[in-house]
Amino acid sequence: MGKRILGGREKVKVAVVQAAPVFMDKQKTIEKACRLIKDAGRNKAELIAFSEAFIPTYPAYYTVGYETNPHEWTDYMIALQDNSVVIPSEDTEILGQAAKEAGAYVVMGLNELDDRAGSCTVYNTLLFIGKDGQVMGRHRKTMPTYTERIYWGKGDASDIRVFDTDIGRIGGLICWENHMTLIRAAMIHKGEDFHIAVWPGNWKRGEKQLLDADTSPEGALCNLQSLIKVHAFEAGAFVLSACGFLTPEDFPKRWHYIRDGNHINYGWAQGGSSVVNPAGRYLVEPNFEKDAILYAECHANQIKAVKAVFDSLGHYSRWDIAQLAVRQEAWNPEVPLTDPSSREVELPADELRRISEKFEVTLEKLESMLEEIQKIKRPGRRSRS
């Protein structure tokens, strides 16, 4: 696959699914997702994107606070855990089978229950599934927004990733992560062909409440619509923007007391999904209809034409002036206690090159010096037999 744009393909058909979940019902929402995946597959889509936290819903529509009824809060929070997805699990196998039948890559927004023993933390996650039905990986939102922190933990450096496939390189960020300049830059520098940007709706600042529905043409008052155009141009990539949708009819009777209560705000979950080309223009304009699947054909030549003029990874960059340092490893709360003298120093290849150039030492000599340093024992330490 390597460096070929769109995996060497001339074009790839993509789909953005804009649909409402069955509110706080994992199994029925997964069933609905599988139907939609297969529908998109029958229409020859090879990349299918769903909105933020589609399974089982975006929980922060429920606006809890210290004044919330504790029994109501407990009911909701336990239900969120019970209806979140463990990766991997039978749930991901079901989604994978649908992706395999569709012959498509699927990027699914979901609530993920931590797979570590003893943890009940929920994460806002993008699940990446291959066309063979296997889980490729996940991206956990690195910074939950405002009241989202009531519901979700934070991802770490291992979640900043792009997947190389036979249709191109696929990455994604969740909601306002797309406004985190350095995180977004890190994704661009990984060479995306497709960027999946997912959101819980399309909003504006309201008068009587902080968030309200944006009913302007193209949802232009919402910051996401301008952002996706900017990212498409800066990355030289296609952006699949998947926005949430929810109506009163999407709440099962079990949750009517939440729907009709004083701590709910979902009027801005009105869609607004779209597809943007690398020139920052809509291939599919924002759609505000329920249960719509948006299709677009993405041509490799559109990427090539834009990057001939503006290539942020190549001729339109100045790494001698500014560089981006990105941590790669995951954050593990449990670290074995080891003798510091036994730890090896590992440096990325680009960092080794930088040091060798700075001190005018060949790479071979620098690597030999590092090997010798590894052999040195700290004073006062005994060698282990």
Longest dimension (CA), the chain: 73
DSSP result, 230-270: HHHHHHTSEEEEEE-B--GGGS-GGGHHHHTSSSB--TT-B
The CB density around residue 258, as the number of other CB atoms within 10 Å, is: 18
Phi/psi of residue 342, nearest 5 degrees: -90, -5
Beta pairing class for 194-199 and 282-287: unpaired
Q: How far apart are CA 55 and CA 245, in angstroms?
A: 12
Please state the length of the chain: 385
Active site residues: 52, 141, 175
Closest CA to 190 of 228, 160, 166: 160
Beta pairing class for 194-199 and 203-205: unpaired
Is residue 35 within 8 Å of 22, Cβ to Cβ? no
Within 8 A by CB and 6+ apart from 93, the residues are 133
Kindly list the strands in the beta sheet with 292-299, ordered across the sheet, starting from the edge strand earlier in the chain: 135-140, 122-129, 105-113, 47-49, 11-18, 292-299
The CB density around residue 206, as the number of other CB atoms within 10 Å, is: 14
Q: How far apart are CA 36 and CA 18, in angstroms?
A: 10
Place of tokens 């010096």: 369
Q: How far apart are CA 222 and CA 175, in angstroms?
A: 12
Q: How far apart are CA 121 and CA 109, in angstroms?
A: 17
